[in-house]
């Protein structure tokens, strides 16, 4: 159970697991921008909550339970690091967004959400649960974009994947229009928007931008760009040399390829338009273990929690380029106006555009 794919992209079936103590120190990798996705191991000391009263109350409860959309690898790392730090067990049930939402809604109808903490990319459902008075206020950690009831604890920035054996350093793209070049004819692979609404954020941004629009994708189609049905294939075909460029490029897909095949000629770059898919944390207002839930939430928003969750090149953190997390793009390039809500509303039109252009 080591799939490293967050819940808003292609991933396998639901899993459940319980984790025990971690042995040894926390080691994380460093991933420089625009290099092969291999980091040098580094041991570091990171800040974490030290509220003695809250820690004692959490220890008395003994455990915290989590419904989690992120990968088993991320949640296992969280469980091990949290227990090692505080002596409080964290157990989790890993499930994708739609099944989690259905389960939580069913539990609310039955009287109470079972899990203490929810981690999901389904922000509209979190808003609905908040309005229904189901969620508790989070500790005020001054975490970026944190609200009273939820915080974006994981960021997946969407990029272009590049085969470094085909594309030289001087030819590295800076804008999406740099991909429009006859020498890349038949050498571009594109993931289908049918992967999901979050995966389609980048496509929506490009389709709605006056510099690009449908004309950009029509030019790619004229260059015989190939459409594939899931995001891991985008990375695999780029690394194999069947493609010079692949997008929507999910950086951790490139890191996964390099982990499996050290030296694989693949990297990623953020261009002039970047979109972000976020995963949010919220706390059950009727949690069975309220102090452990509050401590876990505070820890998850700390540098230590962010490295545990997003390290090993799994994702980016809104706290910045912490050790082992993926590098983040220039904030000026990130289209914060392109949200999952907008992508959901315009999803059918995105698919219709792709169906028409890539016949």
| Per-residue confidence (pLDDT) for residue 38, from 0 to 100 | 33
| Per-residue confidence (pLDDT) for residue 32, from 0 to 100 | 34
CB atoms within 10 A of CB 332: 7
The model's pLDDT over 194-243, given as tens digits with 9 standing for 90+, comes to 998 889 999 999 999 999 999 999 999 999 999 999 888 999 999 999 99
The model's pLDDT over 221-233, given as tens digits with 9 standing for 90+, comes to 999 999 999 888 9
| Per-residue confidence (pLDDT) for residue 89, from 0 to 100 | 98
Q: State how far the Cα of 27 lies from the Cα of 267, in Å rounded to an integer.
A: 23
Q: At what angle do helices 72-86 and 303-310 cross, to 10 degrees?
A: 150
Q: Same fold for the domain at 15-154+280-310 and the one at 156-275+331-357?
A: yes
Per-residue tens of pLDDT for the chain, all 359 residues: 333 334 444 443 333 333 332 222 222 222 333 333 333 334 457 899 999 999 999 999 999 999 999 989 999 999 999 999 999 999 999 987 789 999 999 999 999 999 999 999 999 999 999 999 999 999 999 999 999 999 999 999 999 999 999 999 999 999 999 999 999 999 999 999 999 888 999 999 999 999 999 999 999 999 999 999 988 899 999 999 999 999 999 888 898 899 899 999 999 999 999 999 999 999 999 999 999 999 999 999 999 999 999 999 999 999 999 999 998 999 999 999 999 999 999 999 999 999 999 98
| Per-residue confidence (pLDDT) for residue 5, from 0 to 100 | 38
Please state the domain extents for the chain: 15-154+280-310, 156-275+331-357
- For the whole model, what pTM was predicted? 0.80
| Per-residue confidence (pLDDT) for residue 8, from 0 to 100 | 44
Are 309 and 153 in contact by the 8 Å Cβ rule? The answer is yes
Supply 267's token pair.
């990297």
CA angle 288, 3, 167 (to 5 degrees): 135
- At residue 101, φ and ψ (nearest 5 deg) are -60, -45
Superfamily designation of domain 156-275+331-357: Periplasmic binding protein-like II (3.40.190.10)
Closest Cα partner for 346 from 205, 229, 156? 205
> Residue ranges of the alpha helices (H) in the chain?
52-61, 72-86, 97-110, 123-131, 201-208, 213-222, 231-240, 251-260, 290-300, 303-310, 340-345, 347-357
Closest Cα partner for 354 from 211, 178, 184, 228? 228
Q: Which CATH architecture has domain 15-154+280-310?
A: 3-Layer(aba) Sandwich (3.40)
The model's pLDDT over 98-136, given as tens digits with 9 standing for 90+, comes to 899 999 999 999 999 999 999 999 999 999 999 999 999
Supply 330's token pair.
């220039």
Are 157 and 329 in contact by the 8 Å Cβ rule? The answer is yes
Q: State how far the Cα of 82 lies from the Cα of 90, in Å rounded to an integer.
A: 7
CA angle 6, 196, 253 (to 5 degrees): 40
| Per-residue confidence (pLDDT) for residue 97, from 0 to 100 | 75
């Amino acid at each position: 159970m080591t799939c490293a794919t967050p819940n808003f992209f292609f991933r396998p079936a639901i899993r459940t697991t319980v984790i025990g103590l971690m042995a040894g120190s926390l080691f994380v990798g460093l991933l420089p921008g625009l290099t092969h996705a291999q980091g040098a191991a580094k041991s570091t000391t990171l800040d974490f909550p030290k509220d003695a009263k809250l820690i004692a109350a959490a220890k008395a409860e003994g455990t915290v339970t989590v419904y989690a959309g992120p990968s088993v690898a991320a949640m296992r790392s969280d469980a091990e690091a949290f227990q090692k730090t505080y002596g409080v067990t964290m157990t989790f049930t890993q499930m994708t967004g739609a099944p989690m939402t259905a389960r939580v809604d069913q539990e609310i109808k039955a009287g109470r959400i079972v899990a203490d903490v929810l981690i999901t990319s389904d922000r509209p459902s979190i808003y609905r649960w908040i309005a229904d008075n189901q969620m508790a206020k989070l500790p005020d950690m001054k975490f970026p974009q944190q609200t009273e009831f939820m915080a974006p604890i994981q960021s997946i920035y969407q990029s272009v994947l590049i085969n470094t054996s085909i594309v030289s350093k001087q030819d590295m793209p800076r804008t999406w229009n740099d991909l429009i070049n006859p020498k890349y004819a038949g050498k571009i692979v594109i993931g289908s928007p049918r992967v999901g609404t979050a995966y389609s954020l980048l496509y929506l941004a490009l389709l709605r931008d006056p510099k690009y629009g449908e004309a950009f994708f029509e030019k790619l189609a004229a260059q015989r760009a190939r459409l594939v049905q899931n995001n891991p294939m985008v990375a695999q075909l780029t690394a194999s040399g069947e493609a010079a460029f692949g997008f929507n490029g999910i950086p951790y897909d490139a890191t996964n390829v390099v982990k499996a095949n050290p030296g694989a000629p693949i990297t990623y770059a953020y261009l002039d338009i970047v979109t972000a898919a976020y995963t949010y944390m919220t706390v059950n207002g009727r949690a069975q273990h309220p102090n452990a839930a509050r401590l876990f939430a505070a820890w998850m928003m700390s540098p230590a929690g962010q490295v545990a969750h997003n390290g090993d090149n799994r994702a980016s953190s809104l706290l910045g380029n912490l050790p082992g997390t993926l590098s983040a793009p220039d904030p000026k390039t990130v289209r914060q106006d392109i949200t999952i809500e907008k992508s959901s509303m315009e999803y059918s039109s995105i698919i219709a555009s792709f169906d028409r252009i890539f016949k």
